[in-house]
Amino acid sequence: MERTTQGTPVVKLTGVSFQYEDKVVLDEVGFTLERGDFVGIVGPNGSGKSTLMKLILGLLSPTKGTVELFGQPLPKFREWNRIGYVAQQVAHGAGGFPATVREVVASGLVGKVGLFRRLTTRHHESVKNAVERVGLSAKLDQRIGSLSGGQLQRVFIARALVAEPELLILDEPTVGVDQESIEQFYGLLRSLKEENGLTMMIVSHDVGVMTQWVNKVACIQKKIHFHGTAHDFEHNQEKILESMYGGSMKLLSHHH
Amino acid sequence: MLADWWQYDFLRYTLFSGILIGLICPVLGTFLIVRRLSMMADGLSHVTLSGVAAGMLVSKKIAFFSAVNPLFFGMLFAVVGSLFIERLRKVYKAYQDLAIPIILSAGLGLFTVLISVADGFNADLYSYLFGKIVTVSIEDLYALIGVAVVVLGTVVLIYKELFAVSFDEEFARVSGVARRSINLWFMVLVALTIAASMRIVGVLLISALITLPVAASLQIAGSFRQTIFFSILFAETSVLSGLYFAYLLDWASGGTIVLMAVLILLVVLGAKKLRVLLR
């Protein structure tokens, strides 16, 4: 397990287990995310990587163990605007929704602005900036239905960024995005990390591409099988994947 | 002919009611449709119907209730029905649309039993089913004004929360939006709107006024705000022209309004097609 370096970890899971009825999805998982980390979460389907993410977002509660966000136990945590979330795009089916890029990105401010309050000029300004940050200024007032998969994904990034989070969590963000846009997409994430100092956690089954961009990797299959630098992961990849998959290496040859 | 609308109280009440309905139905309808809950209005309207029947029955049998407007029973039933739908949607997480036929059948079953117990009702019931101009009373209008103020006030005050929850419920939840309370309150508003709109459009046709103007608006709107704006425009056009022709030709007001809404939808679809062809 990793040692805590300086400051409070952004995310800290201690002895976390989760089960659906009889099926144990996560078993005594310990996991720490330090400020400035760009962590890729790797694991086969049903390995619990999405569950891990939902536990961190408070969408699920652990059966056992504790989740801490920015040093606060999850049940007490209220500062949700410190966390940005980008979900798997196909889960949205949002293309037909009659909203513009501007409207969707502005909805990312809903938690920050607060109930009964209206967006101020400053908020509208930050919406514009977030859209510009992902390179979609030209599409600001277009309906999201007219965008490509890659562009739509960038809209969701902008929606997550607009509230200026410290931690960005992305769930399979490249599903339904073409190969060329994927490179661009990771380039954007890297610059967000370097220029804005964001901490990021990304769940993806596309290990080959992802591990080239992140600086840490965590492998999950009910338990954490590896948690270290991307460099160490590449060098020990075969061994790690073998221990997780029991020899079959389907994961790496998986392409869309 | 047009002057009649100012001369007679009942026509004035109808006109004002119609304008209010043409405002709140499409506003709520926009949120319902983008959340794929357009059938909700149908389910709730049948529950409301059973409430109205129950109200008529007790006012007939129990002297104490004889002065109570059956509409209030309809509202009560509709609100309880909406709470049931939310509950059922949680029980059947994987089959959320199942909640609607369940509640619809229950409402209709209860309605027919109540009618048989009461040994049939007078023509008044017909007006609740299909809408009739002469039946709008000042009391109905006051109830509708109350509902309209609450509905519009809510939408103005929590517009961004409603948008966030409608667009992406999970994201809204992660943002800390109290999505359960918002969903529940929204369903209560839909229930109240249906109950209050019954006299004009009739229970069986109310869902048409909630969905048709929005369906037309979705075709041409460039944003979510525009979707709401155009759906109000189409609904008001349907209501005003529908009421006018219903009175002129002595047709059922509900049916005429709905036919106008259908006509608008066809015109919008046709115009869009034509634009593509001419390009």
ipTM: 0.88
CA–CA distance, B249 with B173 (Å, rounded to integer): 51
Class of residue A189 by CB neighbours under 10 A (exposed 0-12, middle 13-18, buried 19+): buried
CA–CA distance, A108 with B155 (Å, rounded to integer): 18
CA–CA distance, B6 with B22 (Å, rounded to integer): 19
CA–CA distance, B42 with B36 (Å, rounded to integer): 13
Q: Which of B171, B218, B221 sits opposite A85 (nearest CB)?
A: B171
Phi, psi of B174 (to 5 degrees): -65, -25
Mean pLDDT of A100-109: 95
Mutate to test the interface with A, among B173, B175, B218, B223 (most CBs of A within 10 A): B175
Mean pLDDT of A161-181: 86
**Shortest CA distance to B177 belongs to which of B190, B158, B155?**
B158
In chain A, the residue whose alpha carbon lies closest to the alpha carbon of B164 is A107
Mean pLDDT of A46-69: 90
A88 and B168 Cβ atoms separated by less than 8 Å: no
Mean pLDDT of B193-213: 86
The pLDDT of residue A108: 94
Residues belonging to chain B: 279
The pLDDT of residue A94: 67
Mean pLDDT of B89-111: 86
Q: Which residues in B lie closer than 8 A to residue A115 (C-beta atoms)?
A: 158, 161, 178
B180–A contact, CB cutoff 8 A: no
CA–CA distance, B100 with A186 (Å, rounded to integer): 43
**Strand partners for A39:** A201, A216
Residues with Cβ < 8 Å from A185, sequence gap 6 or more? A150, A153, A154, A173, A174, A177
Phi, psi of A48 (to 5 degrees): 100, 5
Mean pLDDT of A65-69: 93
Q: What distance, in Å, lies between the first and last C-alpha atoms of chain A?
A: 34
Q: Could you tell me whether strands A11-20 and A23-33 are parallel, antiparallel, or unpaired per DSSP bridges?
A: antiparallel
pLDDT at residue B162 greater than cutoff 90? yes
A40 and A193 Cβ atoms separated by less than 8 Å: no
Mean pLDDT of A120-125: 94
CA–CA distance, A167 with A151 (Å, rounded to integer): 22
The pLDDT of residue A88: 77
CA–CA distance, A233 with A213 (Å, rounded to integer): 12
Side-chain half-sphere of B227: how many Cα atoms within 13 Å? 24
Q: Which residues in A lie closer than 8 A to residue B227 (C-beta atoms)?
A: 98
**Shortest CA distance to B216 belongs to which of B201, B226, B231?**
B231
The pLDDT of residue A143: 94
The pLDDT of residue B270: 95
B176–A contact, CB cutoff 8 A: yes
Q: Which residues in A lie closer than 8 A to residue B178 (C-beta atoms)?
A: 115
Mean pLDDT of B117-145: 77
The pLDDT of residue A3: 41
Tell me the pLDDT of chain A averaged across its residues: 84
The pLDDT of residue B63: 75
Mean pLDDT of B58-84: 84
Q: Which amino acid is at A138?
A: A
Contact A107 B34 (CB under 8 A): no
CA–CA distance, B213 with B236 (Å, rounded to integer): 9
Contact A99 B167 (CB under 8 A): yes
The pLDDT of residue A191: 87
pLDDT-based confidence at B121, cuts 50/70/90? low
Span of A102-111, A179-188, B108-117, B236-245 with lowest mean pLDDT: A179-188
A167 and A83 Cβ atoms separated by less than 8 Å: yes
pLDDT at residue B178 greater than cutoff 60? yes
pLDDT-based confidence at A12, cuts 50/70/90? very high
Contact A116 B221 (CB under 8 A): no
Q: Could you tell me whether strands A167-171 and A83-86 are parallel, antiparallel, or unpaired per DSSP bridges?
A: parallel
The pLDDT of residue A64: 92
A83–B contact, CB cutoff 8 A: yes
pLDDT at residue B127 greater than cutoff 90? no
Mean pLDDT of B126-134: 74
Kindly list the domain boundaries of chain B, sorted by start residue: 4-278
Contact A80 B174 (CB under 8 A): yes
B4-278 adopts what CATH topology?
ABC transporter involved in vitamin B12 uptake, BtuC (1.10.3470)
**Strand partners for A218:** A41, A227
A67 and A243 Cβ atoms separated by less than 8 Å: no
A171 and A148 Cβ atoms separated by less than 8 Å: no
B36 and B59 Cβ atoms separated by less than 8 Å: no
Mean pLDDT of B5-31: 90
The pLDDT of residue A226: 82
**Shortest CA distance to A85 belongs to which of A47, A36, A50?**
A50
